[in-house]
Amino acid sequence: MKKMWAVWAVGLAFAALPSAVWAIPDSTLDDCAELVAGAAVGLAETYVEGLIRAMVVLAATDLVQTGDWDGMHDLLEVFEEASLPMATWFARPDGSYFTVDAGRASANLLDRDYFPVVMSGRIATGYVLVSRSTGRVSAVTAVPVTADGTIVGALGVSLFLDAFSLAIAEDLALPDGVAFYAATEDGRIALHSDPNRLLADVSEAGVLVEDTATAESPLLGWMFGVGPTE
């Protein structure tokens, strides 16, 4: 297993990480494994940060700030189609909301943990849930929409975590017998190279804990792990 870590980690490092990191003479195999876990964090955060930047720009447009769903729909549809599979939505302060695919939703977002966060003017991200509009395991990111100094709503996306998991696994180029995962603060699996494990307890991640390297995502609040499968 140590030899596999060495060959794979070094190959990944030269492909995806700054070469200077790997120039440290006394780097150990454990260091390599930790850098691979860090690479998983970096991939996830880079994508979510890109979404947030795009959403902040969209939230500053007149079309979104008016709160008129019909007026903003086409703009948000283009944004959604250019991203990984996800649902894009706009919510009003009363919790009612609209999605690109279905229009006005019958459900309400007032009881979602992220809703008071975004309505207080902060960006909310890393919230894992089962989407009420799609039924899929998703991670919510939402940004406040402000007009004339008043919060008039929230622009959000529900990123489908099965597709996100597979995209990260593909970028990591995991060899046979190695898996990656990310777990929320309460120990639920948010990402996994086997999407069938989503929402399971992290104890069911299917990796050898003693040989698994971990790294935390400050942005998402998730703990990422990469290690040999059981």
Extents of the domains making up the chain: 2-20+27-48+169-228, 68-161
What is residue 150's predicted lDDT score, i.e. its pLDDT?
97
Amino acid at 6: A
pLDDT value of position 30 = 59
Q: Check pLDDT > 60 for residue 99.
A: yes
* Record: fold of 2-20+27-48+169-228: Beta-Lactamase (3.30.450)
The pLDDT value given to residue 49? 98
pLDDT score recorded for residue 214: 95
The stretch 123-143 carries a mean pLDDT of 96
Q: Cα separation of 200 and 183, whole Å?
A: 9
**What would the mean pLDDT of 178-195 be, rounded to a whole number?**
97
Q: Does residue 151 register a pLDDT over 80?
A: yes
pLDDT for the residue numbered 121: 98
Average pLDDT over residues 23-49: 77
pLDDT at 21 over 50: no
Region of poorest pLDDT, from 11-25, 69-83, 101-115? 11-25
* pLDDT above 80: residue 208: yes
Give the residue-averaged pLDDT of 47-56: 97
What is this structure's pTM? 0.87
- Minimum mean pLDDT among 16-20, 25-29, 120-124, 179-183: which range? 16-20
Asked whether the predicted pLDDT for residue 200 surpasses 70, the reply is: yes
Q: For the purposes of burial, counting CB atoms within 10 Å of the CB of 199, is it exposed (0-12), middle (13-18) or buried (19 or more)?
A: middle
The domain covering 68-161 belongs, at the CATH homologous superfamily level, to PAS domain (3.30.450.20)
On the question of a common fold for 2-20+27-48+169-228 and 68-161, the answer reads yes
What is the average pLDDT across 69-80?
A: 97
Q: For 28-40, what is the mean pLDDT?
A: 76
Mean pLDDT of 1-22: 42
Region of poorest pLDDT, from 1-5, 90-94, 96-100, 220-224: 1-5
DSSP collapsed to 3 states, the chain: CHHHHHHHHHHHHHHHCCHHHHHCCCCCHHHHHHHHHHHHHHHHHHHHHHHHHHHHHHHCCHHHHCCCHHHHHHHHHHHHHCCCCEEEEEECCCCCEEECCCEECCCCCCCCCHHHHHHCCCCEEEEEEECCCCCCEEEEEEEEEEECCEEEEEEEEEEEHHHHHHHHHHHHCCCCCEEEEEECCCCEEEEECCHHHCCCEHHHCCECHHHCEEEECCCCCCEEEEEEEC
